[in-house]
Amino acid sequence: CTCVSYLIPLIPHPAIVASGPQGSTKSWLFRWIKRLIDPSSIELLSLPRNDRELAQQLEHHWIVPYDNLTYLQDWVSDMLCRAVTGGGIAVRKLYSDDEDTILQFKRCILLNGINVAAQRADLLDRSTLIGLTAMAPENRRTEEELLGAFENDLPKILAGFLNVLSKALKLYPTVKLEGYQRLADFNRYGTAIAQALGRTKEEFVNAYADKVKAQNEEALNADEEKRKKKRIAE
C-alpha cells in the first residue's frame, strides 16, 4: 500500500525504514522502488553534510532513498520529518547577501541499514518499518540476471501498480474511517488501496495499528539504549 501511494502526489507518504543483516537485499529493494516510480541515474543516496545540501537532494528527487545508514543526527531526522509531511527551508541565494531562495518539498523517503536508522519518535511516527532477513545462498543471482529479469518485467509491474491505483481512486470517495492515525490522508488512501488489492478495510486498519505498535516499541527501545549509553558515560 505504501509503494502504490507513492504514485499519488500532494499527500504525505510514510517513509519506508528497512532493516536487516548484510545480504538481506535492502539496497536492491530500494533500487527497484526508485526505478519503478522515479527513475534516475542516481538510484541510492548518501546523507549530505548540512541542511542546505539535504534540502537540495529532497528538492531534486521524488523518491529519496538513503542507503546503509547507521544513525541519523537530530537535524537530519527533523528535516526528514518535514519532508514527509511537507516543509522547506530558506537559503541565501548564490552571489547575494540578502536574497533568499526557498526550497520546498514533500517527498517519499526510504531509509535502510542493519539496524533501524530512524530512532526519534517523531520520524518513526511517520514511517513504515520493514524487517528483512538474509537471503539463502541458493537463492542468490548475479546482478546481470537480476537487472535483466526486472527490466523484462517492469512494464507488467508498473501496469499492475497503475491498475491498483485506478481501482483505489474509484473506491476512495466511499472510504469512511471512524478515526485516523498519524498521516490521516495516507490512512484513507491506504484503505482504498488495500481494498483495491482485495483486502478489507478492517485488515488495513488492524495492520496500521500493528505498525503504530511496532513504531512505539522501537522508540521505547531507542530511548532505553540512549539511557544505557548515558549511564555508561557517567
| CB proximity list for 191: less than 8 A, separation 6 or greater | 175, 177, 201, 204, 205
Question: Could you tell me the pTM of the whole model?
Answer: 0.85
Model confidence pLDDT, tens digit, residues 89-132:
766 555 555 566 666 789 999 999 998 888 888 898 899 889 99
Taking alpha carbons only, the member of 63, 34, 62 closest to residue 150 is 34
CA distance 199 to 193: 9
Model confidence pLDDT, tens digit, residues 124-180:
889 988 999 998 889 889 989 989 999 999 999 999 999 999 999 999 999 998 888
**How far is residue 137 from each of residues 23, 134, 140, 142, 215, measured CA to CA in Å?**
9, 9, 5, 12, 31
pLDDT of residue 89: 72
Model confidence pLDDT, tens digit, residues 214-227:
777 776 676 555 55
CA distance 57 to 8: 20
Taking alpha carbons only, the member of 99, 108, 140 closest to residue 13 is 108
CB 126 within 8 A of CB 77: no
Residue 51: pLDDT over 80: yes
pLDDT of residue 234: 47
CB 211 within 8 A of CB 194: no
pLDDT of residue 195: 96
pLDDT of residue 55: 87
DSSP state of 70: S
